[in-house]
């Protein structure tokens, strides 16, 4: 009878481990979905701020039409890109670069730089960019946890049995963003 007790305890522990492992994988999958959704929220916030920023700059910088058109085109490109946020990353990187050129133009206009509306919009956009970066880091951390769980033994057995797959990391598509910043005075 002792042998039967050991078998029942072992089976009980196996069932508890299976339930725990499955729940852990589900939790990690949903955290990854939540993290990618957080990136989407911040990208939407940035997307909504850009027209206000462009209109404020237009009032001061009528002859810098090319820069404003590039920002508007980049924003439209993001709006028309379909798919998940990872697939839209390239359009988002182009938009980030055009915003940098917009701020560079603003540096040439002291009245614009001092304008309260412009300063507030610039602060909001900078805050949004910081939140986007934080959301991307959180997503990558969550994906790392999920991918580690899906790839390591014995959890891999459960992951394979229930169809849990590795997720892709959010990576920079633009090689220029990987280079160190050159500061010149």
Which domains are assigned to the chain? Answer: 21-177 (1.20.1440.20)
Residue matched to tokens 């206009």? 109
158 near 22, Cβ under 8 Å? yes
- Which of 4-13, 154-163, 173-182 is least confident? 173-182
At a CB cut-off of 8 Å and minimum separation 6, what does 177 contact?
93, 96
| pLDDT tens string 115-162 | 676 677 778 888 888 888 899 899 999 999 999 999 999 999 999 999
CA distance 91 to 79: 9
Residue 148 DSSP label: H
| pLDDT tens string 119-129 | 777 788 888 88
Question: Between 148 and 93, whose confidence is greater?
Answer: 148
Crossing angle of helices 89-106 and 65-80, in 10° steps, is: 160
């Amino acid at each position: 009878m002792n042998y039967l007790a050991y078998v029942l305890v072992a089976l009980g522990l196996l069932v508890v481990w299976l339930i725990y492992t499955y729940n852990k994988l589900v939790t990690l999958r949903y955290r990854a979905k939540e993290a990618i959704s957080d990136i989407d929220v911040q990208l939407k916030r940035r997307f909504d701020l850009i027209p206000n920023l462009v209109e404020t700059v237009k009032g001061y910088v009528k002859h810098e039409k090319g820069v404003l058109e590039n920002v508007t085109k980049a924003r439209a490109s993001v709006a028309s890109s379909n798919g998940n946020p990872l697939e839209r990353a390239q359009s988002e990187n182009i938009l980030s670069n055009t915003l940098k050129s917009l701020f560079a133009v603003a540096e040439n206009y002291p009245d614009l730089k001092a304008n309260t509306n412009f300063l507030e919009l610039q602060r909001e956009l900078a805050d949004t960019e910081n939140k986007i970066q934080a959301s991307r880091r959180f997503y990558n951390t969550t994906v790392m946890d999920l991918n580690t769980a899906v790839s390591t033994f014995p959890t891999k057995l459960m992951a394979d049995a229930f169809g849990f797959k590795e997720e892709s990391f959010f990576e920079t598509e633009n090689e220029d963003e990987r280079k160190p910043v050159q500061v010149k005075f």
